[in-house]
Amino acid sequence: MDFNGSSPFPEGVISFLDTDLYKLTMQCAVLKYFTDIQVSYAFHNRTPEKKLSRAAFKWLQAQINKLGNIALSNDELRFLQTTCTYLDKPYLDFLKEFRLNPRDQIAASFTPENDTGGDEDIGEFSLIVKGLWVETILYEIPLLALTSEAYFRYMDTDWTYDGQEEKAFEKGMRLLEAGCVVSEFGTRRRRDYHTQALVFRGLVKARKEGEKTGLSGKISGTSNVHLAMRFGIPPIGTVAHEWFMGVAAITGDYNTATSKALSYWVGCFGEGVLGLALTDTFGTPVFLKAFGEPMTGTETSKSGSPTESARAHEVPSDKPVAVKDGKAKTFAEVFTGVRQDSGDPANFVKMMREFYDAQGIREKKTIVFSDSLNIELCLQYKKISDAAGFNTTFGVGTFFTNDFVRTKTGVKSTPLNIVIKLDSAAGRPAIKISDNIGKNTGDKTTVQKVKEELGYVERAWEQGDEAKRWGTEEDTRKK
């Protein structure tokens, strides 16, 4: 592997579609409702011992600036038109003319520990994004992928691509043989694009082998839209925490923010479309209170409404819009299922079973598990979820796209645990208080205030140490 410019493999991010699908779906919804909202994003490194050199940071800066050169190609537009039919024409018209502006919207800084001025200086780095929500929403995934690539291009370089495709095939077959329905979710913390492509090639081979031999499991797709187009596999994704965080910050009302965010979502895409709800932005118990309410629609924005500053044409109303047998349907009835992304999965399954039973919902719903998964966890969670009567699926990310050992020592080459979260919207702090304290983000004063307002009960999961979610370099040695 040559990192001196002669590598035949692509570096960096070269397409708007080289991102997770839910960034496009959320951008579509933001364009519809919050076109003029200003936001900021903040970068968090949950593995702070992993730092960059000045050379790595320079490479990262150069790649960030290149994001401004990206434009949607005609082939990419046709793919979105034919495959992602829930993305409406106004949005696709917007996207085909859209350009990022990283030089004005991203502030990247490097602080060396011992400043000699040389490229070898090691230090902390930060990334801050500011601008219109509808424009800056596409930065998160590329910035995370580029940061990870910079680290493994300059800091931890004792690894090769050898065996990645075969390893992914073997993982895929084990999951398929166990009856798991799996999507690849590994863009944000991948080693680089070529790694992800190798991994997905291996998964596609497993998919074909599983279909040929009649295995009950399924490789259902990938969150990466570019790879979905390239391999002819469905892109998978719905919504992220960012949507709920943004709506809450804009409205300033955390008691109604979840129901409003759900109403906006259905208003944008329709009933039963992109219908997997993320539960843990302000804690799952808080989410479920809103999820059990009658599903409401949208109406013309009134003077003095919370979204007036956004010039939104529509806002959530209190009027039920879906009725069955003369009774208003709840969000829980309309949405096909939920995604679990923090906290104890066993407790989550129990909570969701009790919730659906109390709601009198007998339709078989889906739970998607997506929190730092590996094969053993998938098998464990599948057993628990299946037994509780759910359709069980998995979004597996870092375990697929950043699973390496150092070639000289056999020691595990551990991924970075990095995130970029919405930090403010419409001039107010944007926060997240998940089902695991280690994943909370945002202004501490606002976090505490909202916890008290919502009656949030703090939870710590014994397996939720974010600094060690994929082990340490001492944990695993090459066998």
Residue 154 sits in the same domain as residue 184? no
Inside any domain, residue 423: yes
Mean pLDDT of the chain: 90
Q: Which pLDDT value is given to residue 301?
A: 39
Residue 94 sits in the same domain as residue 195? no
Residue-range definition of the domain harbouring residue 218: 164-231
At 168-180, the pLDDT tens digits run 999 999 999 999 9
- Range 230-267 burial, b when 16+ CB lie within 10 A, else e: bbebebbbbbbbbbbbbbbbbbeebebbbbbbbbbbbb
Residue 152 sits in the same domain as residue 190? no
Average pLDDT over residues 161-165: 96
Residue 151 sits in the same domain as residue 216? no
User: Residue written as tokens 């949950």?
Assistant: 46
CATH number at 128 reads 3.20.140.10
Inside any domain, residue 258: no
Residue 94 sits in the same domain as residue 173? no
- What sign does the CA torsion over 276, 141, 50, 103 have? negative
Q: Which amino acid is at 249?
A: A
Inside any domain, residue 50: yes
Residue 117 sits in the same domain as residue 104? yes
Instruction: Give the pLDDT band (50/70/90) at residue 275.
Output: very high
Residue 86 sits in the same domain as residue 54? yes
Residue 142 sits in the same domain as residue 220? no
User: Residue written as tokens 């995604």?
Assistant: 339
Residue 71 sits in the same domain as residue 174? no
Inside any domain, residue 108: yes
Name the least confident of 90-104, 339-353, 433-447: 433-447
Inside any domain, residue 382: no
Inside any domain, residue 322: no
At 301-327, the pLDDT tens digits run 333 334 443 444 455 555 555 556 667
Between CA 46 and CA 41 the distance in angstroms is: 16
Q: Which tokens in the block code for residue 73?
A: 């190609």
Residue 91 sits in the same domain as residue 202? no
Residue 55 sits in the same domain as residue 120? yes
Instruction: Give the pLDDT band (50/70/90) at residue 300.
Output: very low
Q: Are strands 366-369 and 337-340 parallel, antiparallel or unpaired?
A: parallel
Residue 124 sits in the same domain as residue 175? no
Final residue before a domain boundary, out of 201, 231, 261: 231
Q: Which amino acid is at 162?
A: D
Of 436, 442, 466, give the one whose Cα is nearest residue 49.
Answer: 466
Average pLDDT over residues 58-74: 97
Inside any domain, residue 64: yes
Final residue before a domain boundary, out of 231, 258, 284: 231
Number of domains in the chain: 2
pTM: 0.91
Q: Are strands 412-413 and 404-405 parallel, antiparallel or unpaired?
A: antiparallel
At 14-47, the pLDDT tens digits run 999 999 999 999 999 999 999 999 999 999 999 9
Inside any domain, residue 279: no
Final residue before a domain boundary, out of 203, 231, 259: 231
Q: Which pLDDT value is given to residue 457?
A: 83
